[in-house]
Structure 1
């Protein structure tokens, strides 16, 4: 049995996924975002990508998988598959006899069991983690915040995206498709709220005209842990990240930053 993630001095392990679908009329691709319930301790009321903490059962399943991924990385990808099915009803990172009805039934089964392994066994499915592409890792260390998440981000593609999605209404209140640029513009208008890592990732995602382009950049830039730091620039305090991580905007004045 894995130790409780809350006790880790390195932060609470978490995983999130940026799910792409083709845009309308050959426009830029759309991505799936969710509005977190205001009652949630972390990022309550914020627009984020689907995902959540890595549970002990995810570590157990990741350790049993074998293959090219180390157990820790496998556990994070297992968490992405589980959280996506639970939060959205989408079956990503899975292979087998899967259709909309089976995905919905699997979601209900998962909500009852809380673990992915029984779902795989019950429906005769297998994990297909090659559907996930590592994109980034954010760990905003802050001694003043007791619950700090060490979050790995992944990319996945639905293609046409002609699928049903429905918020779980416990952790999330609303699911919506948007272009990355559209999400940034909505944030500027005050229609949604995004925390610092989400805004930086949306700016990076807005660079890409297709999922293929996003995946190519993700594979070309090794994932390194991003820990924002505060710096004094021009008499103001800024929150900044490194310049060589693939992000077109690397900082923001601290008085503008929304935090979880």
Structure 2
């Protein structure tokens, strides 16, 4: 047997907004979440519909040593901070959506300014011609880590050739920041309800990774963004590392029932 592959730290954000119109008494529709279709030539999850996110990198850890560049209400340790910072950086790089505040402000950056920052720096960040700390310095932004609510923690099973240790966060989408795919790592982007995304996975319209499906089904149980954030805030997150089992000639994945998903054993 070869050496065990270490799981790479990674983060992703479920950016949420309340859909317009709907049956409830506040006139809102279902929660909508921002998702992207990964390029078919990408090595990991090619062609899949996913939430924006990616691996933790060195610049994320560099930001930790500069507390003036972020606002964190959790009192997080260095490891937790790196996951949060990576989540916001990757989301900005992949979608142009920026969860940050102008230095000295209590309000999230306005959509027009966020679009200007994305137009001026996003491509250079993707090409590694600049770093996220440099962008924050140049634009006077402070990362809104306090807007992120831990939602899930998934670790790729042992024995896989590529493994990730991934934290999923919830966040209300900054007002009027709509997001757009970069055409490099992703080829499409859309806002859709959890129900629509899951139905698309079942019909073949979308290719949905297993953890993405489970988190969409879990999210779909909430009536609106505020309820989803309130339900997740302060709730213990149970780590999920699926276990592959074989039964009656088929294959199944088992996940901890206490993780709060829609079951424990799933046919694959």
Q: Which residue of 203, 221, 244 corresponds with 2:235? A: 221
Residue of structure 2 in register with 1:3 after alignment:
none
> Quick one: structure 1 residues 233 and 8, their matched pair in 2 at CA, closer, same or farther if it must change by over 3 Å?
closer
Output aligned runs, 1:57-68, within 5 Å: 57-65=59-67, 68=75
How does the TM-score come out when normalised to structure 1? 0.86
Aligned length: 245
Aligned match for 1:18, one of 14, 17, 23 = 14
Any conservation in 1 of the 2:13–2:169 contact (CA below 8 Å)? yes
Change (3 A) 1:111 1:233: closer
Partner of 1:69: 76
Secondary structure, in 3 states, of the residue corresponding to 1:192? coil
Kept in 1: contact 2:238–2:258 (CA 8 A): no
* Equivalent pair of 2:7/2:162 in contact (CA under 8 Å): yes
Q: Which residue of 2 aligns with 1:95?
A: 101
Change in Cα spacing, 1:172 to 1:248, as seen in structure 2 (3 Å) is: same
Identify which of 68, 86, 91 aligns with 1:84: 91
Partner residue of 2:166 out of 151, 156, 163: 151
**Counterpart Cα distance in 2 of 1:142 and 1:8:** 7
What is the deviation of 1:163? 3.0
Which residue, 197, 200, 211 being the options, matches 2:225? 211
After superposition, residues 1-260 of structure 1 pair within 5 angstroms as 10-25=6-21, 26-65=28-67, 68-92=75-99, 94-96=100-102, 98=110, 99=113, 100-111=115-126, 113-143=129-159, 145-158=160-173, 161-232=175-246, 236-254=250-268
Q: Following superposition, which runs of at least 4 residues in structure 1 exceed 6 angstroms of deviation? A: none
SS of residue in 1 equivalent to 2:236: coil
Q: How big is each residue's C-alpha offset from its partner over 1:43-69, in whole Å with a ceiling of 9 and x where there is no partner?
A: 011111000011111122124439611
Structure 1 residue 251, shift from structure 2 partner = 3.0
TM-score, with length taken from structure 2: 0.84
SS of equivalent residue, structure 2 residue 34? strand
In 2: Cα distance, 1:69 partner to 1:123 partner: 25
Q: Post-superposition shift, 1:169?
A: 1.1
> 1:141-189 CA deviation, whole Å, 9 max, x = no partner?
231x222011110011126x53342211111111111000110111111
CA contact (8 A) 1:37 1:171 kept: yes
Distance 1:90 1:105 in 2: 13
Rounded to whole Å, the distance in 2 between the matches of 1:164 and 1:238 is 37
State the shift of 1:116 in Å: 1.1
**What is the alpha-carbon distance in structure 2 between the residues aligned to residue 8 and residue 134 of structure 1?**
28
SS in 2 for 1:84: helix
- Maintained 8 Å contact 1:203/1:249: no
For residues 66 and 79 of structure 2, the distance between their equivalents in structure 1, rounded to whole angstroms, comes to 11
Larger relative strand fraction: 2
